[in-house]
Amino acid sequence: MNEATIAAKEPKVMELEPGSYHFCTCGKSANQPFCDGSHQGTGFLPQPFEIKEKQTVALCQCKRTKNAPFCDGSHANL
**Cα angle value 13/46/61 (rounded, 5°):** 30
- 5: in domain: no
- 49: in domain: yes
Amino acid at 74: S
- 6: in domain: no
Q: What is the pLDDT of residues 9-57, one digit of tens each?
A: 999 999 999 999 999 999 999 999 999 999 999 999 999 999 999 999 9
Distance CA 71, CA 65 (A): 6
First to last CA, the chain: 20
Distance CA 39, CA 27 (A): 8
Does the pLDDT at position 7 exceed 90?
Answer: yes
Distance CA 61, CA 4 (A): 10
Indicate the number of domains in the chain: 1
- 7: in domain: no
Residue numbers of the domain that contains 67? 12-77
